[in-house]
Amino acid sequence: MLLAPPMPAQAEDIWQRGRDLFEPCRACHAAEPGAEAQAGPNLAGLIGREVGGDPGFDYSPVLADAFKAGLRWDEARLDRFLADPEGMFPGFWMAMRGIGSAADRTALIRFLARPAP
């Protein structure tokens, strides 16, 4: 069994903050590998995945178009999305206000990008 190397305390604190910030998102999204899509797609393995790329989920037309254009989620794209989702993908179906705090967006991205410490 392979174990992830321990995270430095500060990185672990940021990851934990991201995990806490993700809790309201769990109403619609899972973040564990293999979990089924809910009202929203599973976000496990999001970094590096195509935008609109969960084959088991029915995306809004704007995200389906992003998929066709070959867009992929990376940390910078996810940061822009979390700051202003509607501005980035006008007409997408998820009801979400942006996250104004850069520190909160960073923590949420860290949580989504890394396995549990």
Q: Angle at Cα 91 formed by Cα 107 and Cα 75, nearest 5°?
A: 25
pLDDT digits (tens, 9 = 90+) for 62-73: 999 999 999 999
Out of 1.10.760.10, 3.10.20.600, 3.40.640.10, 3.30.450.90, the CATH code matching 9-33+41-113 is: 1.10.760.10
Mean pLDDT score of the chain: 88
pLDDT at residue 36 in the model: 86
Q: Is the pLDDT of residue 12 over 80?
A: no
- Domain spans in the chain, listed from the N-terminal domain onward: 9-33+41-113
pLDDT digits (tens, 9 = 90+) for 35-55: 888 999 999 989 999 999 988
